[in-house]
């Protein structure tokens, strides 16, 4: 569980830094910022759930911060646009950038001679 928590935290940091770098360089970052927001808040929620589980019964006690951190992490998923809204924003941009094929509904990025035949 601790490895998963570390991986989620690292990935969330890099997504956030990339979105910030794009903004600092005046590059449109709507998709990246939406992805960073929903991924980081989901990672925070899952990490706090794992923390409470790791601590066992102590995770629910007032004397330990895990209970409060889990409540705060849930708020991150709701505040400034729910994660579902952020996913809709990102998916709309992805579909605009990569419109599906009119016949099949799929778009294949690689269409060379070694591409799978349908």
User: Rounded to whole angstroms, how far apart are CA atoms 46 and 62?
Assistant: 20
Q: Which of 78, 54, 83 is nearest to 66 (CA)?
A: 54
Rounded distance between C-alpha atoms, residue 12 and residue 4, angstroms: 12
Question: Which of 32, 63, 80, 111 is labelled catalytic?
Answer: 80
Is 80 a residue of the active site?
A: yes
SS (H, E, C) 12-72: HHHHHHHHHHHHHCCCCCHHHHHHHHHHHHHHHHHHHHHHHHHHHHHHHCCCCCHHHHHHH
Point out the residues that are catalytic: 80
């Amino acid at each position: 569980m601790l490895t998963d928590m570390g991986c989620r935290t690292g990935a969330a940091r890099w997504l956030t830094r990339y979105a910030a770098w794009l903004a600092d360089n005046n590059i449109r970052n709507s998709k990246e910022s939406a992805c960073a927001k929903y991924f980081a808040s989901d990672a925070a929620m899952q990490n706090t759930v794992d923390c409470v589980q790791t601590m066992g019964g102590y995770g629910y006690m007032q004397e330990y911060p895990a209970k409060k951190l889990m409540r705060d992490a849930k708020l991150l998923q709701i505040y400034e646009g729910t994660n579902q809204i952020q996913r809709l924003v990102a998916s709309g941009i992805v579909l605009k950038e990569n419109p599906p094929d009119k016949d099949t509904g799929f778009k294949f990025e690689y269409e060379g001679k070694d591409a799978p035949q349908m």
